[in-house]
Amino acid sequence: MDYNAAFAGMKVIDLSGGVAGPSCAMMLAQHGADVIKVETPHNGGDWSRILGRTYQEHSAFSLYGTLGKRSVALDLKTPEGKEILWRLVRGADVFIEGFRPGTIQRYGFGYDAVSAKEPGIIYYSISGFGQTGPLAARPAMDPVLQAFIGIVTENKGEHDQHPHRIAISLIDMFSGLLGFQAIATSLYVRREQKVKQGRFIELSLMHGGAMLSSIRMIANYLERGTTQRTSMPNGVFNTADGQINITMVRPTDWRPFCEAIEQAQLLDDPRFSTHPARATNLDELYVVLRPILAARTTGWLSERLTAKGIMNGRVNSYQEFLMEEQVAATGIMSWLAQPGVPELVPMPNIPGLPALESGTKRAHAPILGEHTRDVLAEHGYSTGEIETLFDKKVVAGG
């Protein structure tokens, strides 16, 4: 077994859309699995392809979620489409679906039906609120679950005190990793079995978001909704030329912090001189500190805080982050050419794997249906049969 291709020889059928399911399947592709992404030939395919700004048949969401896969555009509402999918399922190791609960069963590809033909298959279902319960049928995306779980309530603006959604697809991405670990663990166990046994795995964004929030959720519950604040100044502060994040967790950080910002008199101020006093007067401490920090440049503060062992970081834009020397030095990013995108795309490399390289299968995000003809031919369809399916608009793409 090769570390760089742990799932080489594995066949994955990915019927999920959006971010959580596709990012899970993408990780399987990055580790060597042959992931066949099945998309509808209508309305642009996987809806992640049309989220935000589009680049022909891609968006930022689909560039990440399709990386390393093969795309087949297939109409599952037709008898011919269903027959094609059954052929694809033959010999598959993993089946991933992300439809609203009940939909995949109506198509005829629920776990019972698929496992009856492929008993060893790992069947993974990802949904918003879960497969059962009063909210199961409700459509849901990351922002809805952030609000439902309590993440939005916790993320109040410092100045407006209004709850805000965290802008990244936080729950989706974390749920994708949870799904990957559950499938990867199942495949590892199955490899040791004499008789390969499949299983059904379910994950909801609600579950993924709860796991993501577990520490804060536990603290908030035990403290009855008012989480204890640290007695040290923490957060984002304006500087003379930008903003800086300062993070302190130990009471022993107070003296070196005051020395770093050249405010030794605060050490003797009875309002702030002890750990309990700072906790009592924390808001007043912020009032004192903000103009002091705002009078200094970010670079001056960062250099002195770092020298004193105080955690800090300049508040960057994504563009500024990508240009940081530390990013280049660690090699965590690759810049990839992708179809329809007029410039190179920054893509984080996968930990434990070689860096992504333009022109390789791992680094290619396919357009809708790019591999339809090839995949159909591999699964026993003649050239004439394939062209008939295209003429009938059962399939689309390459």
pLDDT in tens, 89-102: 999 999 999 999 99
Distance in angstroms (rounded) separating the CA atoms of residues 195 and 213: 38
Angstrom distances, CA of residue 185 to CA of 31, 33, 92, 188, 189: 13, 14, 17, 5, 6
DSSP secondary-structure letter at 226? -
- pLDDT tens figures, 187-232: 999 999 999 999 999 999 999 999 999 999 999 999 988 877 787 8
Crossing angle between the packed helical segments 170-191 and 142-149, to the nearest 10 degrees: 100
List residues bridging with 20 in a β-sheet.
none
- pLDDT tens figures, 361-384: 999 999 999 999 999 999 999 999
Distance in angstroms (rounded) separating the CA atoms of residues 331 and 126: 32
pLDDT of residue 291 exceeding 90, the answer is: yes
Q: What is the signed CA dihedral for 300, 303, 309, 310, rounded to 10 degrees?
A: 40
- Report pLDDT for 311: 97
- Report pLDDT for 314: 97
- Report pLDDT for 344: 98
Order of strands across the sheet that contains 122-127 = 199-204, 122-127, 94-97, 11-15, 34-39, 70-74, 395-396
DSSP secondary-structure letter at 344? -
pLDDT of residue 337 exceeding 90, the answer is: yes
pTM value is 0.94
- Report pLDDT for 282: 93
Please give the average per-residue pLDDT across 322-346, as a whole number. 97
Please give the average per-residue pLDDT across 47-76, as a whole number. 96
What type of residue is 383?
A: T
- Report pLDDT for 73: 98
Distance in angstroms (rounded) separating the CA atoms of residues 220 and 156: 15
Please give the average per-residue pLDDT across 145-154, as a whole number. 95
Please give the average per-residue pLDDT across 131-143, as a whole number. 95
- Report pLDDT for 368: 97
Contact 364, 68 (CB under 8 A): yes
Contact 369, 73 (CB under 8 A): yes
Write the DSSP assignment of 285-341 as a string of letters.
Answer: HHHHHHHHHHTS-HHHHHHHHHHTT-EEEE---HHHHHT-HHHHHHT-EEEE--TT-
Write the DSSP assignment of 64-75 as a string of letters.
Answer: HHTTT-EEEEE-
- Report pLDDT for 1: 76
Query: Of 44, 41, 70, which Cα lies nearest the Cα of 57?
Result: 44
Alpha carbon 351 to its chain centroid, in Å, reads 14
- Report pLDDT for 69: 98
Average pLDDT along the chain: 96
- Report pLDDT for 242: 97
Contacts of 215 (CB under 8 A, 6+ apart): none
DSSP secondary-structure letter at 94? E
- pLDDT tens figures, 8-53: 999 999 999 999 999 999 999 999 999 999 999 999 999 999 999 9
Is residue 33 packed enough to be buried (19+ CB in 10 Å), middle (13-18) or exposed (0-12)? buried
